Structure 1
Amino acid sequence: AVGQAGSAPGMGVSNFTAPECVTQLGFSQAAARIWHRPCVMPTPGWPMRLALGEQADLLLEGQRVAPKRLQREGFVFRYPGIAAALQSVK
């Protein structure tokens, strides 16, 4: 996808992300399930905001983006969801 985006004239902006949107809590729960570890609690927001200020929102709340252009063009994702991606690095 990156190679095609760099060489296609007029390609414009693309979101290079998996189709499944996942929250930080969802990521933690999926990682705990895949690696057979407890998911005791999500990352607390106040220490992150204290350390990172407004930038903490990128980690805690994220950006709701979707790879619409890639999907429309028929790109096949190797890991379309968080479980498959985490399983691949287990």
Structure 2
Amino acid sequence: MCFYAPEQSLATVTAFAEERGWRAGPRYTDDETWRTCVARPGWGLVRQQVRSGRAEGVVVLSDLDAGAVRCDFMEQLAWFGTHLAFVAVVEVGRR
């Protein structure tokens, strides 16, 4: 699985996964605020890992990390679903 969060929150995301016995994988972050997920380079790398079969999903700090707005988040969930992958959210609604 991959981790995706702001740089200062990667430790929180990693701890969340470790508490559940999940194996650590690549960590991705984006330095800027992007309007949509698909425009974020780090998020693109997460999706590439999933698409290639190297990751079963992603752990994010917030649902807002996986989608700038609710409809974007739902689009991301649908994309992960079509790839039989998951999105684990540490803290819902936090930015």
Q: Which has the higher helix share?
A: 1
Q: TM-score, normalised by structure 2?
A: 0.24
Q: TM-score, normalised by structure 1?
A: 0.25
Q: Which has the higher strand share?
A: 2
* Pair member with larger Rg: 1
